[in-house]
Amino acid sequence: MITEPFRDIKDITFILEPGRFVTTEAGILVTKVQYVKENPYGKKFIITDTGMHHLIRPPLYGGYHSIIPVKKNTDDVIKADIVGPICESADFLGKDRFIVKVCQDDLLAVTDTGAYGIVLSSHYNSHPLPAEVLVDGSGYKIIRRRETYEDIWNCEAEVISM
């Protein structure tokens, strides 16, 4: 159907980009709860080990992603901001979310991150990028390993001797 109008052209190659429609739901960002805190005004914060440096969509233009515990430990629900470890007011994954109560080291799944997730990630404040894992049925394969600090620093020039 696409090639029909071009059938008489020799040596033509079609390249199709699947786009957000196809890839968005294929990704989940898994993050670990570092701690939960409450400010003097009663507002709760769930601080995770990921944030705007791995998923910029929420702070950049209000992109919404469901955030759910990987393992539900209780039926108690709290209202909280789910935020990252970077000391920036824009470092959030979700604001004023109703979520079951979570504890330190619990895992959260941030859904619909297959498009514009890892490709928009950064090394902000020297944070390494997370691994990417391909899951197929009950099997999985690490398709991009988690970065180390050494990976980041290897690209930097030594300037001490200048």
Q: What does the pLDDT look like over 54-100, one tens digit per residue?
A: 999 999 999 999 999 999 989 999 999 999 999 899 999 999 999 99
Reported pTM? 0.82
Domain extents in the chain: 24-121
Q: What is the mean pLDDT of residues 107-133?
A: 90
* Helical segments of the chain, H only: 19-23, 57-61, 149-153
Q: Terminal CA-to-CA distance of the chain, rounded, Å?
A: 62
Q: Which of 2, 87, 160, 162 is catalytic?
A: 87
CATH superfamily label, 24-121: Lyase, Ornithine Decarboxylase; Chain A, domain 1 (2.40.37.10)
* pLDDT classification of 48: cutoffs 50, 70, 90: very high
Confidence at residue 161, expressed as pLDDT on a 0 to 100 scale: 65
87 noted as active-site residue: yes
* pLDDT classification of 1: cutoffs 50, 70, 90: low
Separation of alpha carbons 10 and 154, rounded Å: 46
* pLDDT classification of 46: cutoffs 50, 70, 90: very high
Separation of alpha carbons 39 and 132, rounded Å: 34
